[in-house]
Amino acid sequence: MRERLTNLYGKDGTRTVLASILSIIIGLAVGSIIVLIVGAVSSNISGGSTWDGIRLVLFGILSTGRDASGALSFGFNPTSIGNMLFRATPLIMTGLSVAVAYKTGLFNIGAPGQYLMGTMASLMLALGIPSEVVPPAIIWIIAFVGGMAAGALWGAIPGLVKAYLNINEVLASIMTNWIAANIVTWAFEVSDFKNLVESTKSGYIYKTTFNDVATSKMGLDSIFPGSQVNGGIIVAIVIAILMYVLMTKTTLGYQLKACGSNRHAARYAGIKDKRNIVLSMAIAGALSAGGAALYYLSGNTEFAWQTYQALPDTGFNGIPVALLAACNPIGVIFTGVFMSMLDVAGTQLTALTPFNEYITDVVIATIVYLSAFSLVIKMLISGGKKRKKAKAAPAAEVKAEAPPEDADAEKGGEAK
Amino acid sequence: MTFLIQQTLIYAIPLMIVALAGVFAERSGIINLALEGIMIFGAFVGVLFVNIVQQTEFFEAAKAADNYIALQGLELLAMLAAAVMGAIFSLLLSFASVNLRADQTIGGTALNLLAPALVLFLIRIIANQNTLQMASGDAASWFMIKKAMFGYGRTEEMGFLGSTFVDKTYLATYICIIIFVVLSIILYKTRFGLRLRACGENPQAADSLGINVYKMRYAGTTISGALAGMGGFVYALTTSNCMATGDVAGYGFLALAVMIFGNWKPLNIAGASILFGLFKCIASSYSSINIGGVFIFNELGLSAHFYRMLPYLITLIVLAFTSKSSRAPKAEGIPYDKGKR
């Protein structure tokens, strides 16, 4: 038994998971510390609400509001958990988008733009096709596929300029993001999909239910009553599994990963590297846009169409989702749910304490920061092993060769 | 015409100084994708500084007595505060990428996520809303240079040069130009600059000649952080009325594009940023641009969205044409490893 455990521990995958969990713990700790400092410095915030804030940062998903005496109560909250699953849907999709591109050696920071293009295409299709003629289920499928197609086209642009003109895909993606934000605003402004019926709201597009289009609940609403959850989460999970199969079991996936590991070696081996770069970005774009389609076709979400000054957070949050999962499509399912859990915790924090939801973004940013040197963290985790090896080798020689900063890092590892 | 030049300068100068920030980091071998985040942070720090300090008795009195020198001093102090905090913030990036050999793209992205989150979290607690403004008055009444300061009356004209480059401008603009020139000279004409550039081209060779690559990369990134932080505040001061919103509308990324378009050389960057400043100016105020009495952009009848898209579209197109000949510092983005020769 013990041997088995050691084997499991020795596996690279296990260490990746441990590194991610450690990153999460450190991230949550940093968030709590910031809440603590702000609570201590600010004269308006009492010690009690600081403590409440910390508890909500850590366990916000289980919060059931305040009880009669005004203290926070915790327990199973089906509404929160259902909402968590609902919000996880687009995050899983954008996370997959970033992960697939990353495996091909591309950093897809263009997810927000692709997400917006997907939103535009799927909303226009869902609202534009008359539901008297075409059954709503067919419209849903057309809108979903159409949205993904729009995202694929938009994602292919940075891929094309990267492959053929050697423009850094990060820069190209950022430019296409802002161009998309303007195109979407422009297109909706001249369209007649603006919600003019409900006069209390301005700047929103009609819900897709105005055309009787809505994602099937698939029975999930009876498990999580009062929440927004629907079948979209199941679609997202199926797509994640499909992406896993694509990346690990097919020739195309192998070619994509080969391009990511070493573009020149891949070309030497007869793989069309340029085609694969474009294809990878197109798949990434389709996934992001699919996330948008699942979110906005749900029937209970509304799209504020004047987006030219701000890009959707969901797109950017695909980056932490993917990085935290070490770009493994199956891992993305779990990290996507984790991120939306933080999101729900943030809304609880805003509702119940003087703090606000942005602290959860700080937690996410900290986790991304840590994932930038996940190798070092992995090294820290396997520090025990390293120490044994170091003892076997003449220690003095190792010390003399390593640069001073590196020696410090090694020492830190040994201390753990 | 006066309006066009002034507006272009207002947009071009932060772009220029932040692009130079990018140059300092990349020439030392670190890709500083965090420029956007550092700008956001710098803008917040500068505005917060102004917000707090302007409420002190000294500056209240200075404002009441129209003591312009004291007010301009406040502006400079706020720039300094933004620069210092920007430099400190950038240490997160240099620590990760120099000491821990982290992936610099991800590290930069983390800072880009962290800055708006932290800034909005604090702004919401400080101001109870999503924007942080000056405690009283606006940027124009506190900091703008006006012809009245030079004894001109309300109806008197300063002449073309005076009314374009003196009246209704900000001192920050000219300070930035001076800093830009001085730092460009430092980068090319001093021993420090040569060493910094060597670390971005061939760190192994630099190391073999006794240059501490780690120190140089720290220096490059820290200067970069200071410039970006200051640029962020200057942006907030001159374009958005000294207001911090946790957003600089992709300006940091635009600066990166300007840097690449300018081929990592200060003179080209100055030209490129004026070009982009012009497009940004057209985007934001095309309807009031008046060239020789004709409101040219208004008469073209194109949609506002087209003009807003223009800076980004042009960037992409220009990059498409220039990327083949652009030459990045050879060792940028590669963590320095002494063992590799």
CA–CA distance, B337 with B341 (Å, rounded to integer): 8
**pLDDT confidence band for A412 (50 / 70 / 90):** very low
Q: Look at residue A217 and tell me whether its pLDDT is greater than 80.
A: no
Instruction: Mark yes or no for CB contact B214/A405 under 8 Å.
Output: yes
Compute the mean pLDDT over every residue in chain B, rounded to the nearest whole number.
85
Whole-number pLDDT of residue B277: 86
**pLDDT confidence band for B37 (50 / 70 / 90):** very high
Choose the most confident range, by mean pLDDT, from A125-139, A166-180, B187-201.
B187-201
How far does A368 lie from chain B, in Å, by closest CA?
5
CA–CA distance, B85 with B44 (Å, rounded to integer): 10
Residue predicted with more confidence, B266 or A393 = B266
DSSP state for residue A203 in the 8-state scheme: S
**pLDDT confidence band for B115 (50 / 70 / 90):** very high
CA nearest B115 in A: which residue?
Answer: A362
Q: Look at residue A5 and tell me whether its pLDDT is greater than 80.
A: no
Ramachandran category for residue A270: left, alpha or beta (phi over 0 → left; psi -120 to 50 → alpha): left
**pLDDT confidence band for B299 (50 / 70 / 90):** low
Token digits for B8?
Answer: 């272009």
Instruction: Mark yes or no for CB contact A356/B319 under 8 Å.
Output: no
Percent of chain B residues topping a pLDDT of 90: 28
Whole-number pLDDT of residue A411: 37
ipTM over cut 0.85: no
Instruction: Return the minimum-mean-pLDDT range out of A1-10, A174-183, B192-201.
Output: A1-10
- CATH architecture for the domain at B2-146+159-322: Orthogonal Bundle (1.10)
Q: What does the domain layout of chain A look like in residue ranges?
A: 2-76, 79-337, 386-415
Strands of B182-326, DSSP E: none
Q: Look at residue A125 and tell me whether its pLDDT is greater than 60.
A: yes
Chain B residues with beta carbon closer than 8 angstroms to that of A174 = 250, 253, 257
CA–CA distance, A202 with A200 (Å, rounded to integer): 7
How far does B138 lie from chain A, in Å, by closest CA?
23
Beta carbons within 10 angstroms of residue B268's beta carbon: 16
Q: Which of A34, A161, A365 sits opposite B113 (nearest CB)?
A: A365
Whole-number pLDDT of residue A409: 39
Instruction: Mark yes or no for CB contact B117/A186 under 8 Å.
Output: no
How far does A306 lie from chain B, in Å, by closest CA?
11
Q: Cα B46 to chain center, whole Å?
A: 13
Q: Look at residue A332 and tell me whether its pLDDT is greater than 90.
A: yes
**pLDDT confidence band for B84 (50 / 70 / 90):** very high
CA–CA distance, A150 with A109 (Å, rounded to integer): 17
Chain B residues with beta carbon closer than 8 angstroms to that of A170 = 33, 105
Chain B residues with beta carbon closer than 8 angstroms to that of A310 = 247
Token digits for A322?
Answer: 């993917």
Q: Which of B33, B110, B324 sits opposite A368 (nearest CB)?
A: B110
How far does A312 lie from chain B, in Å, by closest CA?
13
**pLDDT confidence band for A403 (50 / 70 / 90):** very low
Beta carbons within 10 angstroms of residue B37's beta carbon: 32
Q: Cα A378 to chain center, whole Å?
A: 22
Domain A79-337, CATH: 1.10.3470
Helical axes A169-190 vs A111-128, angle rounded to 10°: 30
Q: Cα B332 to chain center, whole Å?
A: 21
Q: Tell which residue, B73, B95, B334, has the closest CA to residue B225.
A: B95
Instruction: Mark yes or no for CB contact B121/A362 under 8 Å.
Output: yes
Chain B residues with beta carbon closer than 8 angstroms to that of A358 = 117-118, 120-121, 124
How far does B180 lie from chain A, in Å, by closest CA?
24
